[in-house]
Amino acid sequence: MQLHSDFSQRVVIRPEQYQFVDSPLAGVSRMMLERAGDEVARATSIVRYAAGSGYSAHTHDGGEEILVLDGVFSDEHGDYPAGTYLRNPPGTSHQPFSADGCTLLVKLWQFAEDDTSQLVLNTQHAQWHPGLVDGLSVLPLHEHNGVNTALVRWAPNTVFSRHIHAGGEEILVLEGLFCDEHGEYPTGSWLRNPRYSSHAPFTLEDGALIYVKVGHIDAGLMGDQFISQAAGVNNA
């Protein structure tokens, strides 16, 4: 399966475009944002667990990154409320479930081979730092070899200067309304801007909270093999 797997293209998905499809496990559904591969895939998805649903125990050969958007996500290692950021590196295993239901941002097969650190961070209790301009505050989540992931809070009517993302940029709007010269992106919007793209983002009276990942496009991550395989098939 190939969905938005041409990373040279800009992609914008707004919440009114969400179409959840059932996963192989009852009670778990997903809105696929990008995917290269079949059930084992380099993938970014919004995943919903109905109350009492879960997966059987499994190993993440390519690693798994999770941001809990609402509810409480759980596995045999603990419970993770909304706002928890988790990284399960390649080779780790668990048996995930949700007693009362939850919604997650999930990224699979997007680790570097030498990124082996496991992380559980409750962002509700973490320390934020001032951003590069007035009105911005930043909560770093993870950094490895130039791939950076963070939460960024934008105060109302904040303006950031035009800038270029040499390694691409991915955004999920968690709260408020995020804007740039290309449009307005309400809560739930997902954007992927290709390498060397530029924009001049800003907020209006509501401000915004966004998840941001930069530097990960064409960064030599484990899941890039699925993109290469697809390109080979398409060019055959």
Do the domains spanning 13-122 and 123-214 agree at the CATH topology level? yes
Q: How far apart, in whole angstroms, are the C-alpha atoms of residue 64 and residue 16?
A: 26
Q: Give the three-class secondary structure for 99.
A: coil
**pLDDT (0 to 100) of residue 235:** 37
**pLDDT (0 to 100) of residue 185:** 98
- Integer-rounded Cα Rg, in Å, for the chain is 17
**pLDDT (0 to 100) of residue 232:** 52
What is this structure's pTM? 0.95
**pLDDT (0 to 100) of residue 56:** 87
**pLDDT (0 to 100) of residue 233:** 44
CATH number of 123-214: 2.60.120.10
For the chain, the domains span 13-122, 123-214
**Amino acid at position 156, single letter:** P
pLDDT < 50 regions, the chain: 233-236
Helix (H) or strand (E) run with residue 33 in it? strand 28-37
Distant-in-sequence contacts of 38-42, Cβ < 8 A, 24+ apart: 38/1, 40/109, 41/1, 41/108, 41/109, 41/223, 41/226, 42/5, 42/108, 42/109, 42/110, 42/221, 42/223, 42/224, 42/225, 42/226, 42/227
Q: Identify whether the C-beta of residue 62 lies closer than 8 Å to the C-beta of residue 93.
A: no
**pLDDT (0 to 100) of residue 230:** 57
Pick from 68, 75, 69, 105: which is nearest to 92 by CA? 75
| 13-122: CATH topology | Jelly Rolls (2.60.120)
Each residue's pLDDT tens digit, 106-165: 999 999 999 999 999 999 999 999 999 999 999 999 999 999 999 999 999 999 999 999
> In the block, which residue shows the tokens 């968690």?
174
**pLDDT (0 to 100) of residue 236:** 37
